[in-house]
A and B are shown apart, each in its own frame.
Chain A
Amino acid sequence: MAQEAQKEKSMILQKEMIEGLFNDLANAKELGKKVCYTFIPGNLSELIQTFDMLIVYPEINALQNAMRKKSGGYIKEAERNAHSEDVCTYVKCDVGMMMKGNIGPTGQKLPEPDVLLLSYTGCFTFMKWFETLKREYPNATVIMVHTPYQENAEITPEMTQYMVKQFKEEVIPKMEEVTGIKYDEAKLKRHLKLSAEAEDWITKIFDTTKHKPSPIDAYFAGVYYIGPINIGFRGTQKAVDYYKELYKEIQIRIEKGLGPITPEGEMKEEKYRLVVEGPPNWTSFREFWKIFYDMGAVIVASSYTKVGGVYDYGWRHNPDRPLETLAEYCMNCYTNMNIPQRIELLKKCIVDYKADGYVTNSIKSCNSFSAGQLGMMREIEDSLEVPVGFIESDLVDPRYFSYSNIKNRLESYFQMLEQRKKMEKETAAV
């Protein structure tokens, strides 16, 4: 029982953090705080905090609305207002929410943006999204940073300098102007130090899936774990405390040889270990997860949990080079890596975490994630001879989650894995 209580501690912490965040947002005016809207990939949380601004992440609102079954209505609202069926469903969900009064997922009103900060340009939709928001909020200051793509699988000093120049000449001056606060590099450094600390912890946490059985699910539970580091707490002591607590709880699970916790309690038997590429479906998140844990499948690594930062190769925010490190962070986000880099990272996960299989959940409305996924899958299959599976759904549009289709494919996939395992056992016995 003591463990149960401890297990809940990190969850309670996280709940408090998020509630606090939305409370602050609802009272931004009263608190006299400026509000910055920005996206998760390549987010400049530390810099925004240096200017004491509160942050709104539109895609987080969209996915939270989807988990609360509100996205379908918002999307319809956006479509009624001439947003096409093919537009990214995060955008439509967000636009629909604004049209209905900008009430956030917690039921509290979200503040209007003072700044629209676009610090990752790898997703073209992000630009169009903020164009739409600018039309809605003409008084907001738009700050756009161009993030070079890692076309040649590397970040050159020139690329970093190019971004630092934009920070110095565009981002910082505009933030000073909006907030009336002078740029304080010492403060930024303090935030960056705490970021690096949280990054160390989260890396250790996702590395615990090396254990058999894996004590955590690095995808379905992983999306909760990345919450604090992605949504505004990176660079704060709160995030460090949360991850320390979570790590402690996971250590206890490991000592006891326990598997991951699912919405229906502990997973009894770990039958398959998988690596998953692509975001999850949010509208039927529970049903989607259930298909996996019912079959005894645990996700030991996922690319989606790296969208807010790739720490696998040891990269951390470095307080000694504050602006350079922010530049590198932007360029180092998962979707800014080129396809061979993504393949290498996924292969490393499959090997390091001894995965039995690799599954792609391809998202209908997300081009920056989905483009190239089939080719990546083929290459991974060929080089590692690992059984691969491919399913399709969507982020937050409930119309694109076909339960029976997905279940049928996953069932076939798991039976295929089972057959393989049987065969390998028999071959080993001979």
Chain B
Amino acid sequence: MKKYYLGIDLGSTTSKAVIINEQDKIIGRGITNTRANYKVAADIAREEAIYDARFTLLTEKLKEEIDSKPEFQKYMKDIRSVFQYRQFKRRMDSLEKTFRDTVNAFHYDNKEEILTEINKIIETIRPQIKNEFVNENLGSKNQFFRDIVSERYNAEVEKAERTLFEPLMLAFDKSITPVENEMVQFNFKELINESMKTLEAKYEGLIDEQEDGSKESWYYAELNAVKDNYKNVEYTLREHIDEIADQDIHITTMVGTGYGRALLPFPEDCIKSEILCHAFGAHAVFPNTRTVLDIGGQDTKAIQVDSHGLVTSFHMNDRCAAGCGRYLGYIADEFGISLNELGPEAMKAEKETTICSTCTVFAGAEVKELLHNGEKRPNILAGLHKAIVQRAMSLIARSGGVRNEFTFTGGVARNQAVLKYVKQMVTDSYGEVTMNIHTDSIFMGALGGAMFARRNIEVDLPTKQKSIETA
């Protein structure tokens, strides 16, 4: 039997899971928002990683077809997003039910009116969200159930009667958390069959799109190929699905890391510091890495590693989480935009407004003042991003500076504006160094954890037994 290893990184904002094979290759990734119930967050991330692993195995089986036929490529891309939609739909059903229970327990006189409005909102947002998953690839954007629903729900609440605002918001706040903390068991085979049906409907209804130059030519090539040949893809897929769905993704050992690691139901020696995990993961992906900068939700770490990926020294923020991922979240709220929009907006800046406060709370007041004085939004955002990076740079300096090569990891590494200033300031202070940023940067801690899990295997057999049971 093939052996797989799991790493779970329970961060302050997101929980990540990575499954690797015996060659340290990532075969599955899962990510979800961290919530009050850590165990659920870890379980959801792990379940997602296992589904992702099944897709990876499926993709391996169909490698030849995917490489040679555009319809296979398109189909596999689409089915992942639709698969996510099917999971999303189950939670949405649960949310709808919870809404009813919540409102029924209210002491308002107009319960019926509130319920009618909620139903109306749900009827409006359901097809919106479906469309985004099925036709617009929402699945690849790493947004979580809570974020997706709340964004659209809030938009609809804005349109509702003012008098209903408070009960509608209250109903949402009281309903979303239990739904989010609910561990829903999905059946992979069932979900994938549902997904194929949804896709069938999608492809059946496809009409010829005229090439108008607004999209790349491969887009039309894929579209036409899948429109004509999707039945053939389905047929090939069905040949493998049973095998893939029934295959035991046998997690041999696992390691938990991240700021919430102590709360994971893992044996003590399966818990590792995130500093070691991030460094090890980053080093595995970029073996020449000597300095790692990780900006996570609540801490920033500057880590120096040796040629084996082992940590030689590290430094992290103390007593104050200003300048970390959560700071960006707060700023996004201040501007009323989503976290994903922050970076692109800051990139539009003509100059960086000087921001004095990296204190999260004070920055809010400063931003308001600057906006009031007519400062442009992108410029303020650029200034805020620069301030964050400046804080990170001082930690790097404390840890011993940047050594070639330099790898940037953590959720914040996805932000283009942060990246821009990191590049600028590292080059200014340390000259030209190779700078690595990977699309999987957010998964580095979990990857390192999984790699430690693989290496620990022979060390302690009774523990090994225990971790299998936990898995």
Report if A and B associate in a common complex: yes
CB distance from B320 to the nearest CB of A (A): 10
Between A and B, 14 residue pairs with Cβ closer than 8 Å are: A378-B400, A381-B400, A390-B315, A400-B319, A402-B318, A402-B319, A405-B318, A408-B273, A411-B273, A412-B274, A415-B273, A419-B310, A419-B311, A420-B310
Q: A416 and B308: CB pair below 8 A? A: no
Q: Taking the complex as formed, is B295 at the interface, i.e. its CB lies under 8 A from any CB of chain A?
A: no
Q: B276 and A412: CB pair below 8 A? A: yes
CB distance from B284 to the nearest CB of A (A): 14
CB distance from B443 to the nearest CB of A (A): 19
CB distance from A359 to the nearest CB of B (A): 11
What separation, in Å, do the CA atoms of A408 and B311 have in the docked complex? 15
Q: How many A-B residue pairs have CB under 8 A?
A: 44
Q: Taking the complex as formed, is B316 at the interface, i.e. its CB lies under 8 A from any CB of chain A?
A: yes
Q: Taking the complex as formed, is A374 at the interface, i.e. its CB lies under 8 A from any CB of chain B?
A: yes
Name the interface size band of chain A: 20 to 34
Name the interface size band of chain B: 10 to 19
- Cβ-defined partner of B276 (8 Å) among A374, A388, A392, A419: A419
> Which residue of chain B lies nearest to A400 when distances are taken between CB atoms in the complex?
B319
Q: Which of B310, B314, B318, B398 has the most CB of A within 10 A?
A: B318
Say yes or no: A381-B313 contact (C-beta < 8 A), given A402-B319, A416-B275: yes
Residues of the A chain whose Cβ atoms lie less than 8 Å from the Cβ of B313: 381, 387-389
Q: Taking the complex as formed, is B259 at the interface, i.e. its CB lies under 8 A from any CB of chain A?
A: yes
Q: Taking the complex as formed, is A128 at the interface, i.e. its CB lies under 8 A from any CB of chain B?
A: no
Q: Taking the complex as formed, is B283 at the interface, i.e. its CB lies under 8 A from any CB of chain A?
A: no
Residues of the A chain whose Cβ atoms lie less than 8 Å from the Cβ of B319: 392, 400, 402, 405
Q: A423 and B314: CB pair below 8 A? A: no
Residues of the B chain whose Cβ atoms lie less than 8 Å from the Cβ of A392: 318-319
CB distance from B272 to the nearest CB of A (A): 6
Q: Taking the complex as formed, is A409 at the interface, i.e. its CB lies under 8 A from any CB of chain B?
A: yes
> Which residue of chain B lies nearest to A419 when distances are taken between CB atoms in the complex?
B310
> Which residue of chain A lies nearest to B311 when distances are taken between CB atoms in the complex?
A416
Residues of the A chain whose Cβ atoms lie less than 8 Å from the Cβ of B311: 412, 416, 419
Q: Taking the complex as formed, is B312 at the interface, i.e. its CB lies under 8 A from any CB of chain A?
A: yes
Enumerate chain B interface residues (CB-CB to A < 8 A): 259, 272-276, 308, 310-316, 318-319, 398, 400
Residues of the B chain whose Cβ atoms lie less than 8 Å from the Cβ of A388: 313
> Which residue of chain A lies nearest to B309 when distances are taken between CB atoms in the complex?
A419
CB distance from B276 to the nearest CB of A (A): 5
CB distance from B455 to the nearest CB of A (A): 10
Say yes or no: A412-B400 contact (C-beta < 8 A), given A392-B318, A419-B310: no
Residues of the B chain whose Cβ atoms lie less than 8 Å from the Cβ of A405: 318-319
What separation, in Å, do the CA atoms of A128 and B454 have in the docked complex? 59
- Cβ-defined partner of B308 (8 Å) among A378, A412, A423: A423
Q: B273 and A412: CB pair below 8 A? A: yes
Q: B318 and A416: CB pair below 8 A? A: no
Residues of the B chain whose Cβ atoms lie less than 8 Å from the Cβ of A390: 315, 398
CB distance from A374 to the nearest CB of B (A): 6
- Cβ-defined partner of A416 (8 Å) among B276, B315, B316: B276
- Cβ-defined partner of A415 (8 Å) among B272, B315, B398: B272
Residues of the A chain whose Cβ atoms lie less than 8 Å from the Cβ of B274: 412
Residues of chain A from 367 to 405 with CB closer than 8 A to chain B in the complex:
374, 378, 381, 387-390, 392, 400, 402, 405
> Which residue of chain A lies nearest to B272 when distances are taken between CB atoms in the complex?
A415
What separation, in Å, do the CA atoms of A392 and B395 have in the docked complex? 14
Q: Which of B272, B313, B315 has the most CB of A within 10 A?
A: B313
What separation, in Å, do the CA atoms of A389 and B308 have in the docked complex? 19
What separation, in Å, do the CA atoms of A381 and B304 have in the docked complex? 12
Q: Which of A374, A388, A411, A416 has the most CB of B within 10 A?
A: A416
CB distance from B9 to the nearest CB of A (A): 14
CB distance from A263 to the nearest CB of B (A): 22
What separation, in Å, do the CA atoms of A381 and B312 have in the docked complex? 9
What separation, in Å, do the CA atoms of A341 and B233 have in the docked complex? 75
What separation, in Å, do the CA atoms of A405 and B276 have in the docked complex? 16
Residues of the A chain whose Cβ atoms lie less than 8 Å from the Cβ of B314: 412, 416
Say yes or no: A415-B316 contact (C-beta < 8 A), given A381-B400, A423-B310: no
What separation, in Å, do the CA atoms of A408 and B319 have in the docked complex? 12
Q: B259 and A408: CB pair below 8 A? A: yes
What separation, in Å, do the CA atoms of A405 and B301 have in the docked complex? 13
What separation, in Å, do the CA atoms of A224 and B310 have in the docked complex? 37
> Which residue of chain A lies nearest to B310 when distances are taken between CB atoms in the complex?
A419
Say yes or no: A415-B308 contact (C-beta < 8 A), given A392-B318, A405-B318, A408-B259: no
Residues of the B chain whose Cβ atoms lie less than 8 Å from the Cβ of A411: 273
> Which residue of chain A lies nearest to B280 when distances are taken between CB atoms in the complex?
A419
What separation, in Å, do the CA atoms of A420 and B316 have in the docked complex? 20
Residues of the A chain whose Cβ atoms lie less than 8 Å from the Cβ of B318: 392, 402, 405
What separation, in Å, do the CA atoms of A415 and B275 have in the docked complex? 10
What separation, in Å, do the CA atoms of A389 and B273 have in the docked complex? 14
Residues of the A chain whose Cβ atoms lie less than 8 Å from the Cβ of B398: 374, 390
What separation, in Å, do the CA atoms of A408 and B257 have in the docked complex? 11
Residues of the B chain whose Cβ atoms lie less than 8 Å from the Cβ of A402: 318-319
What separation, in Å, do the CA atoms of A227 and B342 have in the docked complex? 57
What separation, in Å, do the CA atoms of A181 and B311 have in the docked complex? 62
> Which residue of chain B lies nearest to A406 when distances are taken between CB atoms in the complex?
B318
Residues of the B chain whose Cβ atoms lie less than 8 Å from the Cβ of A419: 276, 310-311
What separation, in Å, do the CA atoms of A419 and B318 have in the docked complex? 24
What separation, in Å, do the CA atoms of A388 and B311 have in the docked complex? 10
What separation, in Å, do the CA atoms of A358 and B94 have in the docked complex? 54
> Which residue of chain A lies nearest to B400 when distances are taken between CB atoms in the complex?
A378
> Which residue of chain B lies nearest to A392 when distances are taken between CB atoms in the complex?
B318
Given A402-B319, A412-B273, A423-B310, 16 extra CB contacts under 8 A: A381-B312, A381-B313, A388-B313, A389-B313, A392-B319, A402-B318, A405-B319, A408-B259, A409-B316, A412-B276, A415-B273, A416-B276, A416-B310, A416-B311, A416-B314, A419-B311
Residues of the A chain whose Cβ atoms lie less than 8 Å from the Cβ of B312: 381, 387, 416
Residues of the A chain whose Cβ atoms lie less than 8 Å from the Cβ of B273: 408, 411-412, 415-416
